[in-house]
Amino acid sequence: MRAGPSQEEIRRQNLGALLRQVHVRGALSRAELTMALGLNRSTIGALTADLTSVGLVSEELPRETGRAGRPSLVVRPQSERVFVYALSIGVDRLTAARIGLGGVVLDRRETVRARGELPPAAVVAPLAEFVRQMQRASPPDACSIGCGVAVCGMVRRADGMVRLGPHADWADAPLGSALAEVLNVDLPIMLGNAADLAALAEHTRGAAIDSDNVVYLHGDVGIGGGIIAGGRPVAGHGGYGGEVGHMVVNPNGRPCLCGSRGCWETEIGEHALLRAANRDGTGRDGILAVVDAAARGDAVAQAAVRQVGDWLGFGVANLVNIFNPETVVFGGTLRDVYLASAAQVRSRINRNGLPACREHVRLRTPELGDDAPLLGAAELAFQRLLADPLDAGTAA
């Protein structure tokens, strides 16, 4: 119902649209930008000049094109100069990176993290140390414009309160303010759910770049989901949408950490596969050991993989009926489970999914690997700049 934008709002929208093109697609000629944005050459020239003057892009002559006529200038994001800090708090790893405009990883550090009960301070301290190290190592003219944080837990977007992080025993942990205090950088800090941010990253520059309707699933101890519907993230009222791991699929199933029973994650999470295979072990290594044993012909491991694969397809079929997506992406440990049980997954989707809902669905693994949440955290931190490039304080 809002009225249309003013002249100045349009200029800023156009600046954002141009910057987003080079951020997502990399260096582009003015001719390519003219085509992509549907604006005329002189407007593109003026917008590029504005972005150049604040140090967000640079222009240069292309290498020899071999074609006659005046070559079109190439517009390139200033990836070395304009960057964000991206942090990822996973179940087993803490990762920090300095990521330049264009999604270029300029610096990256990680450490393993012990599982189990852990106060927020124990997570925040090593991340803050990483940020300090990367700050010292960055060139003097580099300019950070934000900090994004991916958290394996339910995060209140407004203030970074972690409402539930069962795998660190967090309930209402004020992670956002703890980070702000320790990082001591004068930057907006934005937190999001790891699966939501991984979905954002795969949609922006990964396996789902050509899909407007995406279900991204992340597996570790629990199961997280990030949903894109009609090209936009499904966030829900408080930002807690996508908790597909707590869709109950088995009313007679096992108790879940959340207090309910038979949640999808009790059937397809790490523990489920290890239990079915009658093995100890945890994490990616534990999962891979089962998958490898199944590939080598171990009958117990094979049965376990088939069983978990069937439950994986079961929940995906429900989500396919609800969202009618083009693409489902299996991330984290679900990548390995899916690859080992693709036949079961597909067969169950065919049995439980409505033909119209499933007929065009593609099952994919992530293109960004385990760094999808980290790269999504960077995208989150870049959003303000891309929405209004002149308002994010990057002037040299």
Query: Helix 7-25 crosses helix 30-37 at what angle (to 10 degrees)?
Result: 120
Contact between 347 and its own copies by CB under 8 A: the answer reads no
167 binds its own copies (CB under 8 A): no
For 60-79, the DSSP string reads EPPS----SSPPPPEEEE-T
Query: Looking at beta carbons only, is 160 or 242 nearer to its own copies?
Result: 242
* DSSP string over 296-328: TT-HHHHHHHHHHHHHHHHHHHHHHHHH--SEE
Whether residue 360 contacts residue 326, with contact meaning beta carbons closer than 8 Å, is answered with yes
Q: Is 157 in the site for its own copies (CB under 8 A)?
A: no
Residue 39 in contact with its own copies, rule: CB under 8 A: yes
Among the listed residues 116, 140, 230, 297, the single contact to its own copies using CB under 8 A? 230
Q: Please pick, from the candidates 89, 124, 154, 276, the single residue that binds its own copies as defined by CB under 8 A.
A: 154
CA 320 to chain centre: 20
Range in contact with its own copies (rule: CB under 8 A) among 107-115, 139-147, 356-364, 368-376 = 356-364
Q: Measured in whole angstroms, how far is the alpha carbon of residue 214 from the centre of its chain? A: 12
Task: Read off the tokens for 124.
Answer: 């925040």
Distance CA 40, CA 394 (A): 27
Name the segment binding its own copies (CB under 8 A); options: 10-18, 70-78, 116-124, 328-336: 10-18
Q: Minimal distance in Å, beta carbon 354 to its own copies? A: 6
Looking at 62-70, 109-117, 181-189, 352-360, which segment touches its own copies (CB under 8 A)?
Answer: 352-360
352 binds its own copies (CB under 8 A): yes
CB neighbours of residue 166 within 10 Å: 17
Position 351 contacts its own copies (CB under 8 A): yes
Q: Does 182 bind its own copies (CB under 8 A)?
A: no
| For its own copies, the closer CB: 206 or 225 | 225
Minimum CB separation of residue 219 from its own copies in Å reads 17
Site string for its own copies, 106-145 (x = CB under 8 A): ----------------------------------------
Least distance to its own copies, CB of residue 233, Å: 8
Facing residues of 105 across strands?
Answer: 99
**Cβ at position 72, least distance to its own copies in Å:** 18
Q: For residue 273, give the H/E element and its range.
A: helix 270-276
- Give, as one character, the DSSP assignment of residue 5: P
Per rule CB under 8 A, count of chain residues that contact its own copies:
72
CA–CA separation, 231 vs 320, rounded Å?
Answer: 16
Q: How far is the CB of 357 from its own copies (least distance, A)?
A: 5
Q: Interface with its own copies includes 224 (CB under 8 A)? A: no
Please identify which residue in 213, 266, 333, 394 interacts with its own copies, judged by CB under 8 A.
213
Residues 312-341 that bind its own copies (CB under 8 A): 314, 317-319, 321-326
Radius of gyration over every alpha carbon of the chain, rounded to an integer in angstroms: 23
Q: Smallest distance from the beta carbon of 245 to its own copies, in angstroms?
A: 8
Tell me if 288 contacts its own copies by CB under 8 A: no
Six-digit token pair at 396?
A: 């040299």
Give least dist CB 335 to its own copies, A: 22
Considering the complex, state which of residue 1 and residue 68 has its C-beta at the smaller distance from its own copies: 1
User: In sequence order, which ranges of the chain are alpha helices (DSSP H)?
Assistant: 7-25, 30-37, 41-53, 120-137, 175-183, 194-205, 264-268, 270-276, 283-295, 299-323, 333-340, 342-352, 355-358, 372-387
Nearer to its own copies, 258 or 288 (CB): 258
Q: Does 359 bind its own copies (CB under 8 A)?
A: yes
Distance of alpha carbon 32 from alpha carbon 49, whole angstroms: 16
Contacts (CB under 8 A) with its own copies, residues 231-260: 232-244, 246-252, 258-260
Scored b (16 or more CB within 10 A) or e, 139-159 reads eeebbbbbbbbbbbbbbbbee
Sheet of 232-233: strand order equals 232-233, 223-229, 214-219, 327-332, 362-364
